[in-house]
Structures are given as structure tokens and as C-alpha cells.
Amino acid sequence: SRRPAAGATGASRRAAASSPRLDEAAFPPLTAEAARARGWDQVDFVYVSGDAYVDHPSFGSAIIVRLLEAHGFKVGVIAQPDWNDDASVTVFGEPRLGFLVSAGNMDSMVNHYTVAKKRRRQDAYTPGGEGGRRPNHAAVVYGNLIRRTYKKTPVILGGIEASLRRLAHYDYWSDKLKRSILLDSGADLVSYGMGERSVVAIAEALDAGLTAADLTFIPGTVYRTSDLGSVVDYELLPSWDEVSADKRAFAASFATQYANSDPFTGTRLVEPYPNGVYVVQNPPAEPLTTPELDAVYRLPFTRAWHPAYDAAGGVPALDEVRFSLISNRGCFGECAFCALTFHQGRIVQARSHESLIEEARALVDDPGFKGYIHDVGGPTANFRGPACAAQLRRGACPSKRCLAPEPCRKLEVDHTDYVALLRELRALPGVKKVFVRSGVRFDYVMADPDRTFLRELVAHHVSGQLKVAPEHVSRRVLDVMGKPSHEVYEAFAAAYEEENRRAGKQQFLVPYLMSSHPGCTLADAVELAV
């Protein structure tokens, strides 16, 4: 049946109606029957996810599964297992090499609750938008669920939830510190950050006969040990007992972690726990090169949800990205409140024009495409490369921001490549309009003396309103946030208005503002309000 469930969004209903029905064989297997249809007696890896399976490069599970397939591994997917039923993770039996576990594209707690800790009613990553199909702290729950049945099979955590919780961390939802997710989940390893390099290295090492306990050498991973004799070149963090007892010790620990989040300058970190247990974080994996990133996006994604979800109306999260292009990853904006730097890093990696044009042509061929590319961007749309050439030789500066409080004198400000890319995309046959809906870093725009990008952004790529993030107006709060002064935003707003007049358009600027950032006083809040 192609009839969407009542919970499906209107866009999901239209997508279900306009997309050709894809054969299940085009997708990674979600059932033992599908695996047997491929002639597999045993899978190499079982990928357990808190999301429904969507075979699209905006979904981390699809990237990792397709990447492992490209390296010759057999991967079965268990999407949204019933955490109250131990048998739900035995669909494929015991994998030859291990379980890969992710809470999904979002942290499960953010998926479930608003900032006011009110339960969300829907889950866009579940068929029909149905809520309640994953547990709180899903990575921990899934890890323990697997461990109850498979005592010795390697379990590797990945995804945003595990990445941000790889060492002792503050849990907003319980207002308490929590241990490394590695300890609470029963897993053997955490693959943190963008996982392409580390996951392939883990898979190849296990395939070569190494045990999970042997995998202490892979960049971008976290492991546990009871013996520091073989751990070299490390910095010792405050212990769990110390950070639990002293907020300043925790703050100092996180500052050290943050300073070591660069693949070129970061060192190995060791976090002591009671009873002689140590959690060791290896330095981050190096960023992908442009050819490597292009290769990821050339993997054979069907760009659709699994047909098992058709009857429910599909997976609503696909609606937002179905006709969008991811052009980059990483961000050198480094806002203090943002997790991007801690997960994706400060070194921007960009796809080639050829790769993006190839994907855009695939969008045009989609029966549901109406001529509109909804976005061309990433964490920050108008970043198309590292902040400076030195970042690829010696990493990002550990104690200096690229843009705030003032742009670094070595910052390479240039929108030429992005302008050329957008021109190529909007010239494609079948493309009526190319929008930019990812965040545009307005201070980077204002640092560019050439107004071509702003002029063409206004003329061709805004759908009535442009969203930007000045975040606050108080100089003191903006300094804490790592944001430019309010005067920079006002200058951008004036330039944006002028370009709209020049283009004969009436388009609006929508600022994102944050009222209760740490360090913000009542006086600052009043200043923001007025």
C-alpha cells in the first residue's frame, strides 16, 4: 500500500505519491530474509540505529553502511529495535566482526525533549513521524541491550550522541555529570567525530584478526584500559572523582578536551576512573580531502526511505533534505555554544563542483523534483575551504578564533568559489531556483570587500527571508559567545537592505537571538529585549 499514515506530514505524503516504488533489494538488508536473498549466511556488521533507515547522504547511518559495503563488508541494519525485547537485536544473529551502534542523526534526548524539558509529540526520523520509537539515551540502552545477549562481540558506538559524550560530560536533562558513554554502554570503542576514516580502520583491523582490545591505535576513537604502560604521549585529565566534586575541575577538563579537538595539534587524552579504569581518547581523525569527500557522495544511495515504511507515509526527516545539497562540513566560526567544532572540527572540507553538479543532475531526474534546490550548504553555507592555508599544515590555532572578536589577519575571505558554484547550479536545465537556507555567516560576508556574493544571494538565492544568527546585542555576552559585535550585524542588515533595493525586492532578515546564554545577566536580557 502507498497510503500514508495519519501522522505523516503533507510533504511525506506527496513524496510517497511522487516517488517510484523501489525494490527492497536496492537497500541494505533490514531483515534476515533480505540478507539471505543476497546469499549471505552471516553479516560482518550489524548497524543498530535509533532512526528509521533512510538511504540518503544526509543520514549518518546510510553513509557508514554504504561506505562499509564499498570496502567489501556485509552490513545488516536493525532500525529502531524494541529496547524492551532482547530478541530485537538478534535479527541477523551474531555478526562476524561486530555491532555498530548509533542513537541516530540527533541526540536522542534532543529528539525527545524541548529545551524546557517538555516531551515532543513527534519524531521526524520515525515512519509517519510517530514518537516513542527509541529510548532516552539510546546509545547506552542499545549497547547494554546487545551486551545482554552477545557478551564478547565487539560493540562500537558512533554518531552525534556518542561523540559528544565520549568523556565525562554534563547532562542537561538530569542536571548531573555523567561518565564517559563508553563505560555506561558496555561498548568496546567510541568512534567520535565524522567517522568515515575510523570506521573503515576499525573494520579492516577486526577483519585482519585483531580483537577489540587490540584497537588502541586508531585516530578518532576512544577506548578503555586498566594499564597505561602502553599509552604514550598523553595528557592526563582530572579524574572522574575530581570533576564530580569540583565544577572548576570539570571546566578545566573540558577546556583541555576542546583545545585537543584538532587532528594536527591534538594529543591523546586520558581520563581516570575509580578502580584503576582509564578512558583514553586518541587524537581526532584527519579531515577528508575533497576527492575523498566526493567519493562518499558517489556511493550508491537510493536517496529514499526503505520501502518497508511506505505504508506509514515514509520518514518525514527526508522532506527537509530530499532536494538539498551538502557542500561542506566543519566550521571555523567556533561559536562557544555550538557542538559543531567538537564534532566536525574547525577545518572546513568542501566537495568539488563536479560532485555537486552530478548530484544536482540526479535531483533533476527525480520524479518529485519541481525545479527548486532547497539548499546548498552545510554547517555554514558560505564557507568553502579552510580559514587559512596554514590549517592544513599545522591545524587550527588552539587559542585563537578565526572570526571573533575580530577576523584574524590571516583569514582568507573569498566567496568566489561559492558564487561560481551557485551560478553553475542555477544554470542547469530543469533547475528553476537555487536557495541558500543553511546559515550564512554574516561577519564573513562583511569581511569580504567584494559584494558580489551578497548581491547574488539577494537576487537569486533567498526565498523571501534570510535567517542569520547575531545571537545577542550585548558586547559582553557576544564576547563570551565568540560572536562579532552587534555593529557588524547592523552593518550587514544595512547592506542586505541596500542590495534588496538594488534588486527591486522586498525580502526580510530574520535574526536568531539567544536570551539566556551563560554569562548573560538580567541587564543584558533587558538590552536584548529593547
Question: 117-122 long-range CB contacts below 8 Å, 24 or more apart?
Answer: 117/173, 122/7, 122/316
| Range with lowest mean pLDDT among 19-33, 45-59, 320-334, 417-431 | 19-33
DSSP string for 17-55: HHSPPPPGGGS--SSHHHHHHTT-SS-SEEEEESSPPEE
- Taking the alpha carbons at both ends of the chain, their separation in whole angstroms is 54
Mean pLDDT of the chain: 94
| 236-272 pLDDT tens trace | 999 999 999 999 999 999 999 999 999 999 999 999 9
| 501-526 pLDDT tens trace | 999 999 999 999 998 899 999 999 99
- Rounded mean pLDDT, 95-121: 96
- Rounded mean pLDDT, 474-494: 95
pLDDT band with cut points at 50, 70 and 90 for residue 6 = very low
Q: How far apart are CA 325 and CA 370, in angstroms?
A: 15
What's the confidence (pLDDT) of residue 20? 56
pLDDT band with cut points at 50, 70 and 90 for residue 530 = confident
- Rounded mean pLDDT, 308-327: 96
- Please say whether the beta carbons of 514 and 337 come within 8 A: yes
Residue 118 CB-density burial (10 A; 0-12 exposed, 13-18 middle, 19+ buried): exposed
Nearest to 509 by CA among 522, 521, 497: 497
- Please say whether the beta carbons of 177 and 170 come within 8 A: yes
What's the confidence (pLDDT) of residue 8? 52
Residue 289 CB-density burial (10 A; 0-12 exposed, 13-18 middle, 19+ buried): exposed
Nearest to 442 by CA among 367, 512, 348, 372: 512
Q: Which residue has the cell 566550521?
A: 331
- Please say whether the beta carbons of 305 and 53 come within 8 A: yes
CB atoms within 10 A of CB 18: 12
pLDDT for residue 13 is more than 60: no
pLDDT band with cut points at 50, 70 and 90 for residue 170 = very high
What secondary structure letter does DSSP report for 454?
H
Q: Is 248 helix (H, G, I), strand (E, B) or coil?
A: helix
Nearest to 5 by CA among 207, 401, 305: 305
Q: Which residue has the cell 587524537?
A: 283
| 435-465 pLDDT tens trace | 999 889 999 999 999 999 999 999 999 999 9
Torsion angle of C-alpha atoms 243, 162, 297, 220, degrees rounded to 10? 50
- Rounded mean pLDDT, 286-315: 97
Prior bond of 405 cis (ω within 30°): yes
* The C-alpha cell that represents 26 in the structure block: 536496492
| Range with lowest mean pLDDT among 20-29, 62-71, 321-330, 417-426 | 20-29
Which range is most confident: 10-14, 430-434, 515-519? 430-434
What's the confidence (pLDDT) of residue 15? 54
pLDDT band with cut points at 50, 70 and 90 for residue 10 = low
pLDDT for residue 156 is more than 50: yes
Q: Is the model more confident about 71 or about 339?
A: 71
| 388-423 pLDDT tens trace | 999 988 999 988 899 999 999 999 999 999 999 999
Sign of CA dihedral 105, 372, 471, 515: negative
| 128-148 pLDDT tens trace | 999 999 999 999 999 999 999
pLDDT for residue 9 is more than 60: no
